């Protein structure tokens, strides 16, 4: 395995260290809690001459993504970071970046959207952008946030993809929480990342190309189909990069992380930091003989429909934990649940488990083990009786 050094870092510092090693050509960013520390730390590397990056201090997040688009279209390796309302303000140009097939990497430190005003974690920001055409990776820990950032560059710049990547971690929970993080040796990290050779560049006057042109109904439909085709190729590339990174570091990454799923009769599916709490509960219940398992998806876009259906095929009941709400959707369910239900219906041949959704942790509300234990008891009851009960439920809500 490659040389590495162990440091005590919060998630923001872990990501900014990855950015330092990537040494992108351009970073354009605007501060917003709880993402600010990512670009604040990185801007110090710029000021100290540690990186060669052109750091563009813009007047808004919309301007940040616009500058990133221009730099990426010119052939640069480009990164940025944001959260919450910052991502929402980027809305128009987030779609533009994906539609123009620009391999921008953006760190998103998940935070709730207003109103009322809240600066703490939930997934309403990145889930709101789930149909924008970006690959989406979610991290449980600061270590995973670091690892995903390095891998995101390789994924985005793969010649069969050329798609932007959002790399998520939970605001304050991991973004400001100090953990043990293994940082690759700088030379090893740079070797893994490699150099970016753009296929097209606005600055290549010998091979002129047009970006962002008017696209009437003559060709717009075909261009959207090309985006879909590119996204459909992403999953094996994500797996390939994760396996290569695993050989380098000993930390193998795939599409999702299963825990105690081999003989599980009931299972919990949850993204990001809450998976750690859930894993602790599952481990304790296993010692009591309860056949319960856990799946922590790492990739949400593209959605691993077939893979999750296969992983859950022998489970009698599954609980999905959503840290966001899709307002007006079926019973006010969350995005992860809705996607998984569609997958189970489409690929489960009518034999999928009974599924229930739990909305939790909105606005940063804590998720304690007792809540996960209640989910487990509900699942065991559903598995025993075959009666699902309420489709959507709430954890830790005062009703």
pLDDT in tens, 212-251: 889 999 999 999 999 999 999 999 999 999 999 999 999 9
What average pLDDT score do residues 196-224 get? 91
Q: Is the pLDDT of residue 174 over 90?
A: yes
Q: How many CA atoms lie within 13 A of 370 on its CB side?
A: 2
Residue 321 pairs with which residues in a beta bridge? 270, 358
pLDDT in tens, 52-100: 999 999 999 999 999 999 999 999 999 999 999 999 999 999 999 999 9
- Please give the pLDDT value at position 257: 98
- Domain boundary assignment for the chain: 4-249, 258-394
Backbone angles phi, psi at 109, to 5 degrees: -100, 100
Query: Residue 227 has which token pair?
Result: 């985006």
What average pLDDT score do residues 306-310 get? 97
Residue reference for tokens 């604040």: 40
**What is the C-alpha to C-alpha distance for residues 363 and 291, in angstroms, rounded to an integer?**
32
Burial (CB count within 10 angstroms: exposed 0-12, middle 13-18, buried 19+), residue 227? middle
Residue 167 pairs with which residues in a beta bridge? 107, 137
Contact (CB, 8 A) for 164 and 105: yes
pLDDT in tens, 343-393: 999 998 877 899 999 999 999 999 999 999 999 999 999 999 999 999 999
**What is the C-alpha to C-alpha distance for residues 72 and 78, in angstroms, rounded to an integer?**
6
- Please give the pLDDT value at position 85: 98
CATH of domain 4-249: 3.40.50.970
pLDDT in tens, 112-160: 999 999 999 999 999 999 999 999 999 999 999 999 999 999 999 999 9
Q: Give the CATH fold of the 258-394 domain.
A: Rossmann fold (3.40.50)
Tell me if domain 4-249 and domain 258-394 are identical in fold.
Answer: yes
- Please give the pLDDT value at position 296: 98
> Which helix (H) or strand (E) is 21 found in, with range?
helix 11-22
Predicted TM-score (pTM) of the model is: 0.97
């Amino acid at each position: 395995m490659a040389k590495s050094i162990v440091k005590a870092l919060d998630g923001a510092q872990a990501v900014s260290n990855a950015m330092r090693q990537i040494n992108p050509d351009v970073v354009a960013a605007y501060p917003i809690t709880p993402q600010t520390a990512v670009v604040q730390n990185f801007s110090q590397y710029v000021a100290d001459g540690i990186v060669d990056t052109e750091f563009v201090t813009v007047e808004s997040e919309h301007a940040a993504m616009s500058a990133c688009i221009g730099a990426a279209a010119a052939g640069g390796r480009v990164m940025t970071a944001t959260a919450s309302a910052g991502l929402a303000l980027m809305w128009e140009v987030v779609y533009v970046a994906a539609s123009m097939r620009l391999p921008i990497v953006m760190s998103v430190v998940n935070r709730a959207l207003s109103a009322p005003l809240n600066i703490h974690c939930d997934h309403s920001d990145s889930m709101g952008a789930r149909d924008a055409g970006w690959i989406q990776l979610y991290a449980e820990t600061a270590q995973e946030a670091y690892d995903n950032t390095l891998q995101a560059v390789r994924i985005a710049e793969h010649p069969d993809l050329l798609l932007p990547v959002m790399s998520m971690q939970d605001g304050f929970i991991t973004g400001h929480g100090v953990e043990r993080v293994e940082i690759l040796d700088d030379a090893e990290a740079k070797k893994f990342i490699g150099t970016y050779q753009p296929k097209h560049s606005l600055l290549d006057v010998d091979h002129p190309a047009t970006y962002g042109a008017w696209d009437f109904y003559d060709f717009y439909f075909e261009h959207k189909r090309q985006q879909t085709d590119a996204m459909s190729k992403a999953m094996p590339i994500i797996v390939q990069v994760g396996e290569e990174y695993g050989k380098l570091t000993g930390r193998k990454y795939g599409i999702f992380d299963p825990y105690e799923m081999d003989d599980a009769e009931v299972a919990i599916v949850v993204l990001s930091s809450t998976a750690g709490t859930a894993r602790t509960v599952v481990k304790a219940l296993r010692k009591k003989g309860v056949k319960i398992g856990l799946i922590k998806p790492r990739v949400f876009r593209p959605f691993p429909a077939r893979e999750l259906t296969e992983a859950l095929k022998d489970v009698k009941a599954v609980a999905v934990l959503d840290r966001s709400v899709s307002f007006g959707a079926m019973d006010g369910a969350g995005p992860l649940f809705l996607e998984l239900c569609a997958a189970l219906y489409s690929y489960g041949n009518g034999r999928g488990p009974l599924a229930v959704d739990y909305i939790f942790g909105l606005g940063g509300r804590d998720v304690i083990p007792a809540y996960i234990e209640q989910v487990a008891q509900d699942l065991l009851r559903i598995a025993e009786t075959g009666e699902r009960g309420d489709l959507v439920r709430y954890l830790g809500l005062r009703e």
